[in-house]
């Protein structure tokens, strides 16, 4: 059977590593290339870079980071943040990214998903969704809405409807990022993750809220996620990737243990 | 072509630089080429690719790469197929009912499961179990896993041509070959140390089993 994946997400701003807490107050925490190498050697299954560079003239720095990482890290590498066109996706692919994450730009231009899938292949297009809880269940039947621009701007899209549309348009994978739990380290948004994972036939990566190994076990079982994304809990040295994977193995969850 | 250890066949089927980088990591100087002449003179060839069988075969026919690959295989020099490159090395694929190269007898089948919760494509890390010894699988251990992304799998005509299987509801062939041809459904270039070990073995391989 497939192993459940542990994926580390590295937010990169101006070529440096940052970690956002509830999407504000980002703090630099180191060099993305050496961090990527460290996680790779410690058994990480997949790596995501998210470019949060504000100014567009510094965006090429990200290509250099991706290129440097791809030369020494031989696991799937996924890159997102600011992908607005097939051209952006192609540039990142040539630099060494396996998968491309689309997010806000796909909300305003859903055809971007189809275009990227047609150009670089369904399996390489990841639809990343920032999702917030809502009380208005008439407008949002799933109880969740899509938010964009790093969580700052609410949209009229129901989270489940958007996930299904993304799958239908050719996304090969979904990232379910719960902004209510993101950066809190209090656990993933389990009901949301489960609802989406059970509704689609493509893999779902749970994101937002990991703080303890138990949280990963919970989202990979009760949350029905195929992969768990971690950030601050490994970036600040509280846990090692290998430690998380051994914990999951001890809980009876199949993970890759040989690397 | 001085100092080129391996030619990576480019036929518009995905980004091949990850394969080139992984080759560099194990000391193989690799050149990406779409020229049949480069394939014919190469010491070794890697035939990679991701995407769909139909367009891939059109590209291969249009560039004259079909004859070059057949001729290269006949020299006895080592040929490694990866993912789509491996799949179109068989005779035909259920994907778009495509007639493929026929370097290895057999066909490529679509995954079909009784368990509808199983996701397609089969994407992620899975164990690879050796069923028959092969120099490129030397050192493979029970817990070793490789990275997969695919919705179709190879089914060689002869059981003897299956060297390893992986389990996704059922055991499917994931490493196949005969004589100087070897093909993997998984991506050694994205499978960490375990994948690099296979590429390092390919560097040493003389094309015999």
pLDDT above 90 for B71: yes
| pLDDT, position B96 | 86
pLDDT above 80 for A235: yes
Region A173-189: mean pLDDT is 95
CA distance A165 to A199: 11
| pLDDT, position A150 | 80
Catalytic residue among A11, A45, A91, A226: A11
pLDDT above 80 for A30: no
Region B33-52: mean pLDDT is 94
| pLDDT, position B73 | 98
Number of A:B CB contacts under 8 A? 79
Sheet bearing B6-9, strands edge to edge: B30-33, B6-9, B45-47, B79-82, B181-184, B170-178, B162-168, B129-130
Give the mutation candidate from A40, A74, A100 for the B interface (greatest B CB count, under 10 A): A74
CA distance B131 to B165: 7
Which has the closest alpha carbon to A49: A80, A90, A71? A80
Give the mutation candidate from B23, B123, B174 for the A interface (greatest A CB count, under 10 A): B123
| pLDDT, position A22 | 46
Who has greater pLDDT, A29 or A5? A5
- Residue A151: pLDDT band with limits 50, 70, 90: confident
Q: Which residue does chain A place closest to B193, by CA atoms? A: A259
Per-residue buried b or exposed e for A155-189, using 16+ beta carbons within 10 Å of the residue's own CB = bebbbbebbebbbebbbbbbbbbbbbbbbebebbb
pLDDT above 90 for A176: yes
- Residue A237: pLDDT band with limits 50, 70, 90: confident
Q: Which helix (H) or strand (E) element contains residue A184?
A: none
> Which residues of B participate in catalysis according to the annotation?
83, 187, 189
- Residue B128: pLDDT band with limits 50, 70, 90: very high
Answer whether B50 sits within 8 Å of A121, measured CB to CB: yes
| pLDDT, position B2 | 59
pLDDT tens digits for range B148-204: 999 999 999 999 999 999 999 999 999 999 999 999 999 999 999 999 999 999 999
Q: What is the model's pTM?
A: 0.94
The answer to whether B47 and B69 have CB atoms below 8 angstroms apart is: yes
| pLDDT, position B52 | 84
pLDDT above 90 for A198: yes
Q: How far is C-alpha A22 from the geometric centre of its chain's CA atoms?
A: 15
| pLDDT, position A121 | 86
pLDDT more than 90, % of chain A? 78
pLDDT above 70 for A252: yes
CA distance A42 to B74: 42
Q: Which residue does chain A place closest to B16, by CA atoms? A: A94
Answer whether B145 sits within 8 Å of A258, measured CB to CB: yes
pLDDT above 80 for A20: no
Both tokens of B66, joined, read 């079909």
| pLDDT, position B119 | 86
Region B36-63: mean pLDDT is 93
Answer whether A75 sits within 8 Å of B192, measured CB to CB: yes
Both tokens of A184, joined, read 């809190």
């Amino acid at each position: 059977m497939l192993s459940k994946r542990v994926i580390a997400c590295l937010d990169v701003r101006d070529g440096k590593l940052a970690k956002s807490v509830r999407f504000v107050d980002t703090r630099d925490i180191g060099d993305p290339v050496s961090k990527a190498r460290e996680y790779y050697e410690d058994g990480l299954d997949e790596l995501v870079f998210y470019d949060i560079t504000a100014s567009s003239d510094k965006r090429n720095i990200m290509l250099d980071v991706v290129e440097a990482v791809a030369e020494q890290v031989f696991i799937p590498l996924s890159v997102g943040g600011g992908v607005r066109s097939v051209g952006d996706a192609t540039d990142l692919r040539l630099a060494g990214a396996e998968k491309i994450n689309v997010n806000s730009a796909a909300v305003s231009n859903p055809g971007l998903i189809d275009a990227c899938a047609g150009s670089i292949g369904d399996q390489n297009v990841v639809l990343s969704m920032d999702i917030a809880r809502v009380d208005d269940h008439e407008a949002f039947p799933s109880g969740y809405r899509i938010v964009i621009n790093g969580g700052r701007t609410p949209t009229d899209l129901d989270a489940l409807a958007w996930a299904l549309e993304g799958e239908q348009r050719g996304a090969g994978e979904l990232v379910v990022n719960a902004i209510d739990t993101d950066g809190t380290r209090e656990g993933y948004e389990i009901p949301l993750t489960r609802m989406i994972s059970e509704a689609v036939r493509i893999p779902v990566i749970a994101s937002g809220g990991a703080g303890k190994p138990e949280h990963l076990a919970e989202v990979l079982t009760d949350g029905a996620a195929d992969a768990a994304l971690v950030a601050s809990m490994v970036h600040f040295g509280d846990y090692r990737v290998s430690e998380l994977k051994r914990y999951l193995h001890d809980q009876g969850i199949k993970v890759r243990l040989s690397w | 072509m001085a100092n080129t250890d391996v030619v990576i066949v480019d036929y518009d089927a995905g980004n091949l630089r990850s394969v080139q980088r992984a080759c560099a990591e194990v000391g193989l100087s690799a050149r990406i080429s779409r020229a049949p002449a480069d394939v014919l003179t190469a010491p070794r060839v890697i035939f990679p690719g991701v995407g769909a069988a139909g367009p891939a075969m059109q590209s291969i026919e249009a560039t004259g790469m079909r004859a070059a690959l057949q001729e290269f295989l006949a020299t006895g020099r080592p040929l490694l197929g990866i993912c789509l490159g491996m799949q179109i090395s068989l005779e035909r694929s259920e994907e778009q009912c495509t007639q493929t190269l026929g370097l290895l007898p057999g066909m490529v089948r679509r995954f079909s499961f009784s368990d509808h919760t199983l996701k397609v494509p089969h994407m992620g890390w899975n164990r690879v179990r050796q069923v028959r010894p092969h120099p490129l699988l030397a050192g493979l251990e029970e817990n070793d896993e490789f990275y997969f992304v695919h919705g179709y799998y190879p089914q060689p005509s002869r059981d003897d041509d299956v060297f390893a299987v992986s389990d996704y509801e059922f055991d499917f062939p994931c490493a196949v070959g005969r004589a100087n041809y070897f093909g993997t459904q998984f991506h050694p270039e994205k499978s960490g140390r375990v994948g690099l070990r296979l590429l390092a073995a390919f560097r040493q391989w003389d094309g015999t089993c």
